[in-house]
Structure 1
Amino acid sequence: MSALDSILKIGSVVSVLGRSVEIKVDTAKNASHLLYKGELLKNVSVGSYIKIAKGFTHLVGKIEGEFITEDKSRDFHSYTSEQEKIRRLLQISLIGFLEGNVFKQGVKELPLVDNEAYLLTQDEFNYVHKFVKDDEETFVFGSLAQEKGKAIEVSIDRLLASHIGIFGNTGSGKSYTLAKLYHEILSKYKDEPAFQKNARFILIDFNGEYMSPEEGLSDDVIISSRYKQVFRLSTGTNGSKKKYRLPNKIINDEQFWSLILHCTEKTQSPFISRTLKSEFLEDNIHTDEGFKKLITVTLEHITTKVSQNQEKNLVLTFLEELAKFGIADKIDNYKAVYRDLRANLQFHSKDKYFYYNNVISTTAEFLPLLREKLNVLEPHISEVSIIQKIRLKIIFNFYYEIQNGFANKEHIGPVMGRLDDRINDLEKVIEITQEKNEPCVLSVISLKDVNIQMRKILPMIICKHLYEEKKGKIERDKFLNIIIDEAHNILSFNSDRESETWKDYRLEAFEEIIKEGRKFGVFLTIASQRPSDISSTIISQLHNYFLHRLINNKDIEAVEKTISYLDKVSFDSLPILPQGSCILAGISAQLPVIIEVGFIPDKNKPYNETMVLTKHWRDEIRTEDNQIKRIK
């Protein structure tokens, strides 16, 4: 045995139970450090690695625990020191084996009792933590937390061609890790023409952390502004300056409108479907004469097919609803017709009307008079947006079906109650056009100023559209990564504020992406502080994990259930990880390791630093005298 082997030998195997192995430590190796050639070597401890020699096979294990028993095999009087009474045992979990200069994960074979165990040499330690092959393109993500000088390289192909999960409580460094990950990748390839052509990263930002706080300021978060575009979406009074574009085909998708209007499955969704499929509405909604015809026909139905419970001023209600969002300004003489009908039209009985000077008119007499009054309308329907045309179609069909008895007002009425607000919000954030969004490597979609209803709907609409578009083209050289920060906002299965149908549809949309997206070059990166809120189906399909500090037991259990290869030491460290450290686990790492995330330039950091309260609670003291007084 060489001198190095002698100093590195720590003991021998005493029991083997599958992957779990117990090693008895030699009494001479019970110190915290070993002295070798004038240098102190760190001895074995929980979380470190050992090598078990079985013939020419070197098995590698991770120490998960240690305990002591009293050595009763010797006579009490034969002990020369108290240290010799202790029998120190290590609990080892086998993680892989060494073949030459390569570490391979998995259990090739099990050790035998009395096989000798050794500390790893520095070279062997490096082999275990080499997660990349010589021909792979890599980037340095950070360094080992226990070995500050040991940089951890990650394979770009194995990381990005996978679904990624970044989890951690607020303030643990989760957003910093996300920014670090994509800063390194985008910085490495940003000037490559093929990368600019074939790679797309879409970041859904719920809190506005990945863009400058105000428009017009320098915006280099993650990457320089010249390589990205930012959509600051807002449902506020002024709406969004730059809206997100969706194609025309979306507008006739009944699922799209069912989501926007939060329709029930059995009554309201079929009503929306009938509206969109109506040839009569489609033929007339796009021309001025056709639009005037729709107004006339609807008013005829309202005034001639009167139900017993019909509200008194339904004609005026219809005209007022039609005129919202500036539609009245796009129809000449509309306001005059409205004032005329409000002043003179009154119901006398089911089929008679008071109209002008209290003259009673029958239906046959009244309809020509109504058409004459409406004939002065001159619509400019080309000035009405596509979204507003859908709103108008829904209004026309609602009155048509209700007046003709084809639908129940109590069933469809709630949709009409949501219609105006949802359409108004939608027009503030979405633009329906054949023109596509400007091609850009990184697109950041901020939902910071979007209301709670649209915050749930928009990400799903955008992500589903991107996925369906990518799926339809089958371009193997094109890459799309959808990044969702604060993903529990839209991937939660515990929400009580929505129907089961809507929740199922929302989760199924993302579950399809995470299950099938890999075939079409679509990958998800989700970051969340509450993994327990996210669908277990989604978490279980992730391939790489960056785990920051998690304190809540439910969150830790959610991770434990879905990441089977995370060892006990890593699980136990989750609640006590310091800020800026995370556990890397998955197909890009041969074994779970605790990493200190590397540095990002200040200009590329996300805007989410923890506020230092006391820094803003004292007035600045500038004079030397006052500074001296404060010190005293």
Structure 2
Amino acid sequence: MNDDVGRIIEVNGVDVKAKLFSLLPPFLIINGKPYSAPKINSFVKTKVGLDVIICQIVGEYNVEDLNSKTDYYMDLRVKGYIENGKFIQGLRMLPIVSSNISLLSEKEYNIIFQYNKESSFRIGQDLFEQNRSIYINCNHVIPSHVGVFGNTGSGKSNTLALILQRYLNLLLNVSESKNSKILIFDLNNEYGDEAICSRNLKTIYTLSTSSKTKDRIPFNFNDLTEDDMGVLLNATSKMQMPVLKYAFKQLKKENDANYYIKYLTSILRNKQKDLFNSIRFNLQEYIGNIEDIFWSEKHEKFCKIKNDGQWYFSDNDDFYSEVVSKIIINLPDNSLDRLKFELYFSVAKECVHGVNGEYLTPLLSRAEKIFDDLHKIIEFENNEVDVFGDNNIAIVQLADVNTDMTMTVTSLLSNALFSKQIKSKGNEKVKSIINIVIDEAHNILYKDDDSRIHNSTLYSFEKIVKEGRKFGIFLMIASQRPSDISNTVLSQLHNYFLHKLINPNDLYQIRKTVAFLDENSMNFLTVLAPGECILSGTCVAMPTFVKIDELANENKPNSSNVVLIGDHGILMNSKNRESSKRRRIRKTHK
């Protein structure tokens, strides 16, 4: 496949002009195999001695003279050269005028696109060379930060799922595959059932903050820090954070009942009715013999009715000897409930020391709501937990989870995995790899927001994308709005799969961020068809145009466009309805 097709007639730096020997048909038959003839965005080669220079075709035209003779020309751009079996981008060598140009051999294509049979997988076919498959080397794409971007319906979810599926297929043929894990944060519940891989090969958590009947993620309570909880509760730094820190400190102590009764006594003596009523209502399952103590508006003091109909009042010593002394304290077994318990008494302690309770009780109100939501989606344990189980892939479905808890879950889990990777590495080489995947990432990694929860979450992922490579933890995101994504996250990505983008802000962001993408490739972004993409980054030697393979229907994420009318439409006319009915009848008889 080294037949010459033309010769170089002009060299102007990296821009080269070549003249074809003759007009070529769309396909050439060489040694019985069809090959695409040279055309826009395909490659040709030329030699300088024994060195092979690779050029990309960026234009073609013809010139006719008065005698109706036609000459055919191509504009080329130097991309690099092959040396010692490796493709090197650079301009150490430039073509020589009058040297011939020819098509690339299969071996040379494999060198350029870094194809290695053991570590590579196919993702599709060359958009301009339809008989040529495009492979990417697993070693250059999986241990990297990846971005998949494109408008709705452009095929980005299929691309993301395809990469993960092909990677999982490679893991089936390697030993120690347990050292490779994938965690998907599924914001729209698209990756359940058979999406990507068989249901029995993945661990799925379907979370909900509107119900307690769904799954809960196992999480080591010891991985939850004071700062994490301070962000969740939006605790003020001067007044409320010290209270929260003291509550964390008390978790490690074994206080007896007298410790808590002491502060209950102070609350009653100081007539702090709001704090006491909150304790009585929210901690009633842990504090016995407190339910009959009430605040008397008439007397402006706490009281309890005696068996003989008389009253105990909190300004009388009998109230404490006969009522308070009989209070029973049962500390919660669950760590999160214990923290809530300690938080109430930490507030009580501050109030005893003269702090105005009005500054502290809002913290308790927020804690009730946040802790209730946390209980619905997280199972707190005090031991090391593994969200993956025996599988390589875990999927956390978040479609029925409110915004704050979505941010919380993604941040807590990612931070815990990052910390685990740091500890496991120590002073040695990385022993395992974790890929964190976020589809519809603009819902989490957006910029410019004043929310403490969001900013904390964004900081967590920015830290991963900046430092994760050293510890074997990588980020893979997909989004239809790259202009909404944090600039820090975008700029740190290594590989980009770019589907059709139309919005000027998105195009500007890609042009500004993707250093590997030349202007010639940028011009194609607005006209790509569904499933077509430009691959750019460290996993390819130069921007590559790919028609991405389509996953089997059962392995596709549940993100397909809605069919309105037709055999599989949500609306059916009478003819379609009868046809569908007959098919169901035949299926029943079979």
What TM-score comes out, normalization by structure 2 length? 0.85
Contact kept in structure 1, 2:449 and 2:455, CA below 8 Å: no
Q: Percent identity?
A: 26
* 8 A Cα contact 1:232 1:240, kept in partner: no
Equivalent position of 2:199 in the other structure: 225
Distance 1:512 1:367, change over 3 A: farther
Shift of 1:97: 1.3
Tell me the distance in 2 between the aligned counterparts of 1:221 and 1:406.
55
Q: CA deviation at 1:547?
A: 1.5
Match of 1:379 in 2: 329
Contact kept, 8 Å, 2:42 with 2:129, in 1: the verdict is no
Q: Give ranges in structure 1 of 5+ residues lacking alignment.
A: 72-77, 212-218, 304-313, 628-632
SS of the residue 1:600 aligns to: coil
The answer as to 2:80 corresponding to 1:80 is no
Aligned AA (2:68): S
Taking the aligned partners of 2:545 and 2:236, their CA distance within structure 1 comes to: 47
How far apart are residue 588 of structure 1 and its match?
1.8
Query: Hey, what does 1:392 align to over in structure 2?
Result: 341
| Counterpart residue type for residue 534 of structure 1 | I
For residue 181 of structure 2, the aligned residue among 200, 207, 226 is 200
What is the one-letter code of the residue matched to 1:228? K
| Partner of residue 262, structure 1 | 234
Alignment of 1:305-454 (within 5 A): 314-315=272-273, 317-324=274-281, 327-337=283-293, 341-343=294-296, 346-347=299-300, 365-366=315-316, 369-370=319-320, 372-382=322-332, 385-402=334-351, 404-406=353-355, 409-410=358-359, 412=360, 414-435=362-383, 436-437=385-386, 438-454=389-405
* Counterpart residue number, 1:13: 10
Worse-matched range after superposition: 241-250 or 615-624: 615-624
The answer for the alignment partner of 1:62 in structure 2 is 56
Show the 5 A alignment for 1:101-250: 102=85, 104-111=87-94, 114-116=97-99, 118-123=101-106, 126-127=109-110, 129-133=112-116, 136-190=118-172, 194-196=176-178, 198-211=179-192, 219-236=193-210, 238-250=211-223
- The answer as to whether partners of 1:190 and 1:227 remain within 8 angstroms in 2 is no
Cα separation, 1, equivalents of 2:377 and 2:183: 16
Q: Which amino acid aligns with 2:214?
A: K
The equivalences for 1:406-555 within 5 A come to 406=355, 409-410=358-359, 412=360, 414-435=362-383, 436-437=385-386, 438-474=389-425, 476-495=430-449, 498-499=451-452, 504-555=455-506
Q: Call closer, same or farther: CA 1:552–1:623 in 2, change over 3 Å.
A: closer
Q: CA deviation at 1:407?
A: 5.7
Does 2:79 correspond to 1:95?
Answer: yes
| Maintained 8 Å contact 1:47/1:569 | no
Q: Residue by residue, what CA displacement relative to the aligned partner does 1:222-281 show, whole Å, maximum 9, x if unpaired?
A: 122222111111101x22532112213134x2111112112344544344224433x5x8
CA separation of 1:21 and 1:284: change in aligned 2, threshold 3 A? same
Q: Where does residue 518 of structure 2 map in the other structure?
A: 567
How many angstroms apart in 1 are the aligned matches of 2:53 and 2:174? 43
- The 10-residue stretch of structure 1 (33-42 or 597-606) with the greater mean CA deviation from structure 2: 33-42
Q: Which consecutive unaligned segments of at least 5 residues does structure 2 have? A: 583-590
Q: CA deviation at 1:595?
A: 1.4
Q: Matched residues in 1 for 2:298 and 2:327: separation?
A: 18
CA separation in 1, counterparts of 2:514 and 2:501? Answer: 15
Q: CA RMSD in A?
A: 3.6
- Structure 1 contact 480–522 (Cα < 8 Å) conserved: yes
Please state whether the residue corresponding to 1:456 is helix, strand or coil.
helix
CA separation in 2, counterparts of 1:194 and 1:529? 35
For residue 328 of structure 1, give the secondary structure of its aligned residue in structure 2.
coil
Contact 2:124 2:134 in 1 (8 A): yes
**Higher helix proportion (structure 1 or 2):** 1
CA distance in 2, matches of 1:284, 1:133: 60
Question: Quick one: which amino acid aligns to residue 366 of structure 1?
Answer: N
CA contact (8 A) 2:435 2:474 kept: yes
Quote the offset at 1:288 in angstroms.
4.8
Q: SS at the partner of 2:181?
A: strand
Aligned partners of 2:188 and 2:95: how far apart in 1? 55
- Structure 1 SS opposite 2:3: helix
Aligned residues: 568
Relative to structure 1, the CA distance from residue 247 to residue 41 in structure 2 (aligned partners, 3 Å threshold; closer, same or farther) is closer
Describe the SS at the equivalent of 2:122: strand
Q: Cα–Cα, structure 1 residues 439 and 25, in superposed 2: closer, same or farther, change >3 Å?
A: same
Q: Name the CA shift for 1:195/1:117 in 2 (closer, same or farther; >3 Å).
A: same
CA shift, 1:22, in A, is 3.7
What CA distance in whole angstroms lies between the structure 2 residues aligned with 1:226 and 1:485? 22
Q: Offset at 1:111?
A: 2.4
Q: Quote the Cα distance in structure 2 between the aligned partners of 1:99 and 1:473.
A: 39
Give the Å deviation of 1:611: 0.6
Classify the secondary structure of the residue corresponding to 1:334: coil
Q: Is the 8 A contact 2:155 2:499 kept in 1?
A: yes
> Following TM superposition, by how much is the alpha carbon of 1:424 offset from its aligned partner in structure 2, in angstroms?
1.0
Partners of 1:116 and 1:508 in 2: CA distance: 55
- Write the distance in 2 (CA, Å) between the matches of 1:371 and 1:130: 84
What's the TM-score once normalised by structure 1's chain length?
A: 0.80
* Structure 2 CA distance for partners of 1:610 and 1:250, relative to 1, 3 Å: same
